Structure 1
Amino acid sequence: MKYRIEVDGLRAIAVLPVIFGHAGFSLFHGGFVGVDIFFVISGYLITTIIMGDLDAGRFSVLRFYDRRLRRILPALFLVIAATLPFAYLWMMPDEFKNFGQSIVATLLFSNNMLLAMTADYWSLESMFKPLIHTWSLGVEEQYYMIVPVALFLMWKYARTYVLPAMVVLFISSLMVAVWGVAHFPAIAFYILPTRGWELLAGAILAYWLAYRAAPSPKGVRQEVASLAGLAMIAGSVVGFDDSFLSPGLWLLIPVGGAVLVIAFAVEGTLAYRLLSSRVLVGIGLISYSLYLWHQPLFALARIHAVDQVGPQTYAVLIVANFILSYLTWRFVEAPFRNRQIIGRRSFIVLSVVSSICLLGAGIYLNKTYGMYWRVFDRNENIADIDKRIYNSRVFEYKKSHFDSDGRRRIFVVGDSFGRDFINMTTETFDVSNIEIAYSDTAQACIESRSDPVDKSLFDAADIIVFASGYDTPDSIRQHCVQRDITWADERGKEIFFVGTKHFGYNLNWIIQLSSNDRANQYNKIPEFSLRNQKLDEEIVPSANFISLLGAVSRDGMVPITDDNGKMLSTDRRHVTKYGAIYFGDHALKPSAYGALLVGGVGAQ
């Protein structure tokens, strides 16, 4: 394949918005589309190379994967290994455990699948994940586990159907993407079936340019089309934000822009001259390393900071990113891609040893709950501090009916915040006098609920509690509060709405303190939590409101450790056992809800 210098320039156009967007620069809200441009470039280049080898009769699946792994693995090994010691020093156990899982998933080219099951790309927590960006490597490598073999077989037995097959798969994947973002947006963001059309756009272009399109010199059409492509990319970068569902139809704009640039930015056009500039080509050459390094640098800086990282710090990190990326390209990427320097046997040995070491580290971190003894005592019960275990055990309270034994019946409706509330209740009050039922169904007005189990539990309950987490005002909650209170009053039931809680932008700085200095530490409450707290106070009558932040905060600060230095939360949102006890003592006991439980009144 003839080297196309302007495609390296396009790589720079792809990676820079990703970096500046993740650094929080407002002009690059849509910087995430850089990954979509990378997909198009990758689909185009790899398909062109494979078809060229097939035509020449020299295609080898083994040689393809050797070349591919030489491109991907060495720099990836380095970045993961370099991130590990800082993660050890600065990460909470829950995060460090998740990091270990991500190491394993990344090296198995499946981090996109792990994230699809566990993480929303747009959530605050994602900003603290050093390897979240490797989801795109997972998509690409899963694609290339299929495409080379499929192309080889079709080239041999059904060559005339190659382009039609690509087009059908492109349309099918795009349709799945549109459906996916409408029904399962967090999952659709990460997976190959909803992302494959972007790679296939590049593959279709490669086939078209190789076999269908006549070579065309510079002309008006080439000038206009290539500049239009750049404009479509630029417009997406500055015009998109996280409200644009991805990978939905909107992505046809940057993807189409990348296709136009690759197809029409021929030598002599203005777009070609811009993209072939030394600066952009230089950035393009190190774009893979730039992409690999930027997220660990940003995430570790956020983890280490007490408050949000400012633009000056991001500027320093971006400079560091360029330095590290150049060194990685010069001394790792380039040598490993040269078979004269690193032979096949040496590459295999180094890759196997590196994989075993890093996979072993990841498995160890998962097994030891992120080496929890760095923060907690070794004799701690992990079930009390692992948010997933402690929070999820509440599912045992899901039931279809209450027992009629005279205990006070409490029905809690909510998400993981509702499960937190149940833990606060069971850690604080005598559970022999109460019976709890739990439902995680979507919130709606009581009278509007259609689930027969929920309806029977509402009818049988003495106390009804709504507790859900949200980062933006909940219109359903605002609409239903007074209607639900009226419904409960008419039936002689008590009803409560639990306020939001948040333990601050970052908890990890507490690790840097000695165990003797960790008692009674506070964090700044995020503005959105304060706004939601105020909104709750405005729409919920005080007699029906359990204010969590209002009960424990002071001057806009929230406690993150108790009197003994025990962490109240390890993930910013949910409580440990110590957090449940703390909120139970400080928020639930003094409330009207607490008065009912302390009074021990039986069923009505």
Structure 2
Amino acid sequence: MIYRPEIDGLRAVAVLPVILFHAGIGLFEGGFVGVDVFFVISGYLITSILIEDIVRGRFSLLRFYERRARRILPALFFVVACTIPFAILWMLPAQLRDYSQSLVAVSLFSSNFLFWMESGYFEAGADLKPLLHTWSLAIEEQFYVIFPVLLFALWKLGRRAVIWILAVIAVVSLGLAEWGWRDHPAANFFLAPGRVWELLAGSFCAFALHRRTLPGNDVAAALGLLAIGVAVFLFDDTTPFPSLYTLLPVIGVLLIILFGQQGTRVAALLSMKPIVGIGLISYSAYLWHQPMFAFARIRSLTEPSLALMLGLAVLSLILAAFSWRFVEQPFRAGPNTRLKTQSGVFAISIAGLVLIAGIGAWGHVNKGLPDRFPAHARAVLTMNTDQIARTCHFDERLPWVVPKPACFHTVPNATDTVLLLGDSHVAAISNPVVAALNASGRNVYVGSYGGCIPLPEMERVHKSTAHKCAEFVGAILTYAEEIGIDTLVLVARFPAYLHGTRFSNSEGGVEHGIRMDVRDLTGASHEGQLDLLRSKLEDLAARFNLVLVEPIPEAGWSVPELIAKRMYFEGSDDPSLSTPYAAYAARTNALLSMFSALDAGSENITIAPVHTRFCNFLTSRCTNADGKNILYLDDDHLSPAGAALIAPDIVDAVASLPSH
């Protein structure tokens, strides 16, 4: 196979946006498409080698896997080994337990399955997982377990038949990707079925260019480079992926591979020594960048600065150059390799994979080594999402059920029945609030749905079709009317739905995650989001007595984790924590004014003024932990202690309403 330096240059085009995207550089919000560029390049190069071996009659599955082991494993072993001490030193017990699981998954080339299963609503942020990026390596290796055997077996049917069969597989895979992002977005992203077509796209280039070249075409190659650039700079985390959108960068790579040969301006650009140099170390750079960024975020008490992340991005390239020169190169096939025999390659590969798996199993069995932390820090860390009441909490993975008997909390001689409805904030507070309402002589029906604004005929803009928010809300409101419930208590993260953005407390507490924009399914026109929410609340007030629970102050940082990290890293004994009231006010003032206007204009609407339980106007601070109690489970969900604070306000608000 003739060496094409522009392909190494294309690797640089792939890896740099990925690194800058994971560093949090806003300009590169679509940098994740670099992985798709890698998939196409890999499909092209590997298929080219396989075709040549099959045609020459020298195809050997063992030799193929030997080459893969030499290419992939030395740098992977080295980087993973370097992450283990930092994981033990810096990670919280739950983080280390999850990291240990990822070590086992990496050793089995199944980390994509692990991260898919960990992609639930309350799971740790992706940016805190040092080995998250190995999902793409797992997909490639899963593909290459099957593809060489399939290609060799099909070759007897003839070249044309092989291409047609692979084309059918690619079309089915693309169809699965387009279907999958709607109904199973996490599985679609992490698992191989929706990605195979990208690797096969590169394979088709290998067939097209086998023992021949196409005429170079600067226009086509430039359009290819432009397509990749458009995807990098215009896509973001709300773009369905993989899907038909993925065709843009994939076709871009195809155009460069097919028409960007030496002699074109695009090839001249991509063949520049600095660009080729980055391309040569791109695999190591890809391995290094995510652990460095993740550990920076884990070790920092607040969000790392942009300068630090850019510095780490540069450092990842420096370390990549080192590992390429002293780890990757010495084990490549050739007369100067340090491993002369195939049996030696397999023996060391198996030993390394078993060792990594063993370390991972040890960390998992020992539950993330909690004894590394002082007792008071471990006590703080018991504040976790296991205290979320999940019986009546639904999401994309747990189809909603209305009515559900276990969600009905009754007391003898109840005066009336209350519907407690909302998103995951309801799940966080339901136990103390239900107990308080029951104690006041009221029955309570509870229903919550993750990431769901509890207003009729509304939905999140960026969601899968499996997110049945509107259907759930409609069903539970209808059921409430059927059984005569006349009081509705709404608890939700309304500021996030109003603004669409996640919270930043201006003091280093920055929440990461997809946008939370909402829209009206009826198609009715509104002056803006605030007007939309107002009209929906007025509609509800025509059907129920309405208690509007003020937005619970968001923290921005995970409160238990930050306090525990201060205790561990700084030796602090202070379990208190607060955020600026100004950040809460800026995010909620317009919403609270609208609530007040509704309260003043209707006798059957009232407000539960819960934010005053946390925010002090004199100190201009909002309390996250008061020295005795941790009031939050994470960055926005209340702990049982926090929920107990606001329960009396909700009971008082319900009691103030007239009979419907």
Q: TM-score range by the shorter chain?
A: 0.7 to 0.9
Instruction: Measure how far apart 1:411 and its partner are.
Output: 3.2
Give the secondary structure class of the aligned counterpart of 1:101: helix
Structure 2 residue corresponding to 1:503, chosen from 555, 569, 579: 555
Q: Distance in 1 between matches of 2:381 and 2:443?
A: 22
Give the secondary structure class of the aligned counterpart of 2:71: helix
Instruction: Measure how far apart 1:43 and its partner are.
Output: 0.8
Structure with more of its chain in helix, by fraction: 1
1:341 aligns with 2:335: no
Q: Distance in 1 between matches of 2:200 and 2:77?
A: 28
Q: Distance in 1 between matches of 2:269 and 2:105?
A: 38
Say if 2:101 and 2:361, in contact at 8 Å, map to a contact too: yes
Q: 1:216 to 1:344 in 2, by over 3 A?
A: closer
Task: Compute the TM-score of the two structures, normalised by the length of structure 1.
Answer: 0.84
1:26 is matched with which residue?
Answer: 26
Q: 1:6 to 1:452 in 2, by over 3 A?
A: closer
1:230 aligns with 2:225: yes
1:520 aligns with 2:527: no
1:195 aligns with 2:192: no
Instruction: Measure how far apart 1:563 and its partner are.
Output: 1.6
Give the secondary structure class of the aligned counterpart of 1:522: strand
Structure 2 residue corresponding to 1:359, chosen from 345, 348, 357: 357
1:138 is matched with which residue?
Answer: 138
Instruction: Measure how far apart 1:106 and its partner are.
Output: 2.9
Q: Deviations over 1:128-181 (max 9, x none)?
A: 222222222222222222211111111135654110112212222222222222
1:552 is matched with which residue?
Answer: 614
Structure 2 residue corresponding to 1:580, chosen from 640, 647, 651: 640
Give the secondary structure class of the aligned counterpart of 2:21: helix
Say if 1:9 and 1:284, in contact at 8 Å, map to a contact too: yes
1:399 is matched with which residue?
Answer: 406
Q: Deviations over 1:386-445 (max 9, x none)?
A: 414644366698637555733464433334322101144368788696654332455554
Q: Deviations over 1:68-105 (max 9, x none)?
A: 13322232233233223333333333333332333333
Instruction: Measure how far apart 1:46 and its partner are.
Output: 0.9
Give the secondary structure class of the aligned counterpart of 1:244: coil
Q: 1:523 to 1:363 in 2, by over 3 A?
A: farther
1:533 aligns with 2:588: yes
1:9 is matched with which residue?
Answer: 9
Give the secondary structure class of the aligned counterpart of 1:199: helix
Say if 2:15 and 2:285, in contact at 8 Å, map to a contact too: yes
1:15-164 alignment runs, 5 A limit: 15-119=15-119, 125-157=125-157, 159-164=159-164
1:481 is matched with which residue?
Answer: 537
2:466 is matched with which residue?
Answer: none
Say if 2:423 and 2:453, in contact at 8 Å, map to a contact too: no
Ranges in structure 1 where 5+ consecutive residues have no aligned partner: none
Q: Distance in 1 between matches of 2:10 and 2:99?
A: 31
Q: Distance in 2 between matches of 1:92 and 1:391?
A: 24
1:251 is matched with which residue?
Answer: 246
Give the secondary structure class of the aligned counterpart of 2:68: helix
Say if 2:223 and 2:255, in contact at 8 Å, map to a contact too: yes
What is the letter of the counterpart of residue 412 of structure 1?
L
Q: Distance in 1 between matches of 2:93 and 2:262?
A: 54
Aligned residues: 584
Q: Distance in 1 between matches of 2:329 and 2:147?
A: 26
Q: Distance in 1 between matches of 2:184 and 2:436?
A: 37
1:467 is matched with which residue?
Answer: 491
Q: Deviations over 1:204-245 (max 9, x none)?
A: 11112217xx53455xxx222222211222222223223332
Say if 1:305 and 1:509, in contact at 8 Å, map to a contact too: no
Q: Distance in 1 between matches of 2:104 and 2:620?
A: 39
2:651 is matched with which residue?
Answer: 593
Q: 1:157 to 1:183 in 2, by over 3 A?
A: same
1:456 aligns with 2:511: no
Give the secondary structure class of the aligned counterpart of 2:446: strand
Name the structure, 1 or 2, with higher relative contact order (CA <8 Å, separation 6+). 1
Q: 1:313 to 1:138 in 2, by over 3 A?
A: same
Structure 1 residue corresponding to 2:270, chosen from 265, 271, 275: 275
Q: Distance in 2 between matches of 1:525 and 1:325?
A: 44
Instruction: Measure how far apart 1:383 and its partner are.
Output: 11
Q: Distance in 1 between matches of 2:160 and 2:492?
A: 56
Q: Deviations over 1:186-216 (max 9, x none)?
A: 43222222222211111111112217xx534
1:261 aligns with 2:250: no
Say what the alpha-carbon RMSD is for the aligned residues.
Answer: 3.7
Q: Distance in 2 between matches of 1:35 and 1:143?
A: 15
Q: Distance in 2 between matches of 1:539 and 1:387?
A: 32
Between 29-38 and 530-539, the greater mean CA deviation after superposition:
530-539
Identity of aligned residues (%): 33
Instruction: Measure how far apart 1:263 and its partner are.
Output: 0.8
Give the secondary structure class of the aligned counterpart of 1:487: coil
Task: Compute the TM-score of the two structures, normalised by the length of structure 2.
Answer: 0.78
Q: 1:94 to 1:423 in 2, by over 3 A?
A: farther
Say if 1:119 and 1:186, in contact at 8 Å, map to a contact too: yes
Q: Distance in 2 between matches of 1:392 and 1:525?
A: 31
Q: Distance in 2 between matches of 1:216 and 1:449?
A: 54
What is the letter of the counterpart of residue 635 of structure 2?
R
